Amino acid sequence: MPFTRITVREGWSESELQTLSYTLHEVLVAEFSVPPRDRFQVIDVLPAQRLIYDTHYLSGGRSERYVLLHIVAGKARTTEQKRLTYQRLSERLQRQLNLNPDDLMIIIQQTHAENWSFSGGKMFELEMIPSDLK
């Protein structure tokens, strides 16, 4: 049950944003143990002056195509799952969007199930997931 905020600068086409969203979800399903129908994303497209980042901090150099993915996950993942998610996202976005790997920053933040309410004012519990959605 991750929630992802995708943040980019103005200049991305709708088609590119859809590819970014779709690719992210595919990788999360394949590498991060996310059920296929568990897709919650927000895409923020900001003016250049509203997305502030150091172009070289722990990177070979970021451009105006910098992408920040902030993934809030409701259950723990292994170090290997995280590593594969980072690698696959970088590889796929480079191939599909010609995104330089130095332009991709990913933050995974873990929270607990009781911090989520998907609807109805009910606190989420793992038992609530129907077997066909797992």
Catalytically active residues are: 2
Contact 90, 24 (CB under 8 A): no
| Rounded Cα distance, 47 and 21, in Å | 20
Q: With 0-12 CB in 10 A as exposed, 13-18 as middle and 19+ as buried, what is 126?
A: exposed
Contact 103, 63 (CB under 8 A): yes
Calculate the alpha carbon distances from 3 to 48, 53, 84, 89, 99 in Å.
24, 22, 18, 16, 22
Report residue 60 as tokens: 């070979």
